[in-house]
Amino acid sequence: MVPDALIRELSPTVERLLERHLASTREWFPHELVPYDEGRTFQDGVVWSESDSALDLTAAMRSALFVNLLTEDNLPYYFRDVDRLFGAAGAWGEWARRWTAEEGRHSIVIRDFLTVTRALDPVELERGRMAQVSGGEAPAPGGPHHALVYLSLQELATRISHRNTGVLLGNGSPAYEIMSRVAADENLHYLFYRDVASAALAIDPSEMVIAIEDVVRTFAMPGTGIPNFEAHAAVIARAGIYDLNVHHDQILVPVVLRQWKVQELSGLSDDAEMARDSLLERISRTGRIGARLAERRQSSDSVST
C-alpha cells in the first residue's frame, strides 16, 4: 500500500487514539518537581566538579541523564520527521503538535533539575546541546510504515531508560519523581504509536512486517549526534539501565511478539515471509546474546563486591 493511502486509512484510528490520549494524560508542571531551594548562583570562572553536587551519582547515572536530556533537546528534528511523514492536517497534525509540546516539557524539567542540583557539568551539557541541535541529526525513517514501528519501539525504550534511571537515583527522591513523571508521559506516547502500528498491521500486514524486520535489525536508541554517544551508551548498558537483555525482554518480546503477533500473521507476501523468518531468528538470537551478557555482568559485579 502506498504511504498516502495508509495515512488516509489510519486517520480515523489516529483521531480515536488522540482522544484517548487527551483523556488519559494529566496536567503537570515542571516547577513543582524541581528542588529550587537547593540551587545557588554559578560564579564566573569556577570550574564544575562532581563534588559540587550533593547527589551521589555514578558514571552510569550521569551518562543516562546526559543522553536522556540531549535526546529530548533534539525534539525539533523529531517533529520535523513526524510532520514530514504524516502531514500537519487533521488528527495527525494535532497529535504531532501535542506530542511535541509534551516532549518539550521533559527537557525543561530535566535540565532545571540538573542545573539546580549541579548533577552535571553545565558547560559540558550546554556544549553537548549545541553540538546535538546544531548538527541536526536524528533517526529518519524512510516512510510511514517504518516510522510507526520505530516510534513505537523508541518511545517504549525511552520510557524504560527514564524509569530505570530514576530508580537508580533513589526511590522517593525528587530525581525519582521527575524521571517517573517523564516516563509516564513516554508510556502514553508509546501506547499511541503502538496502537496505530497495530491498526497499520491489519491494513497492510506485508509492508508492516518488512518494516518491523528492518527497524528491529537496525534499531538504536536515539542519540545520533550526541558527543561521545557510543561511550555513554556502553556505560548505560553495563549498568543495566538499557542493554540488549532489556531490549529483548521488555521491547521485542512484548511488542513484536505479544502485541503485534507477527508470528501468527497470515496471507503475507513472499518478501514479507522472508522478512518474518529473519525477524524471528534475530529476536531469538538477541535474547540469547542479551541473557549471556547479563549473566557476565552479574558475575563480574559479584566478584567486584
State the DSSP H helix or E strand holding residue 113, giving kind and residue range, or none if neither: helix 90-117
CA atoms within 13 A on the CB side of 288: 6
What is the separation, in whole angstroms, between the first and last Cα of the chain? Answer: 56
Q: Domain 3-26+57-304 classified CATH 3.40.50.300? A: no
Q: Is 78 exposed, middle or buried (0-12, 13-18, 19+ CB in 10 A)?
A: buried
Tell me the torsion sign for CA atoms 189, 257, 223, 52.
positive
What is the reported pLDDT for 6?
94
pLDDT of residue 139: 79
**Cα(189)–Cα(233) distance, integer angstroms:** 23
Hey, how many other C-beta atoms are within 10 angstroms of the C-beta on 253? 15
Estimate to the nearest angstrom the gap between the alpha carbon of 124 and the chain centroid.
22
CA dihedral 201, 207, 211, 214 (to 10 degrees): 140
pLDDT tens digits in sequence order for the chain, 305 residues long: 788 899 999 999 999 999 999 999 999 999 999 999 999 999 888 899 999 998 989 999 999 999 999 999 999 999 999 999 999 999 999 999 999 999 999 999 999 999 999 999 999 999 999 999 998 888 778 899 999 999 999 999 999 999 999 999 888 889 999 999 999 999 999 999 999 999 999 999 999 999 999 999 998 877 777 889 999 999 998 888 999 999 999 999 999 999 999 999 999 999 999 999 999 999 999 999 999 988 887 776 655 55
Q: Are the C-beta atoms of 206 and 161 separated by less than 8 Å?
A: no
pLDDT at 278: 98
Neighbours of 294 (CB within 10 A): 17
* Cell numbers standing for residue 121: 557539568
Say if CB 204 and CB 23 are below 8 A apart. Answer: no
Cα–Cα nearest to 266, from 205, 207, 214: 205
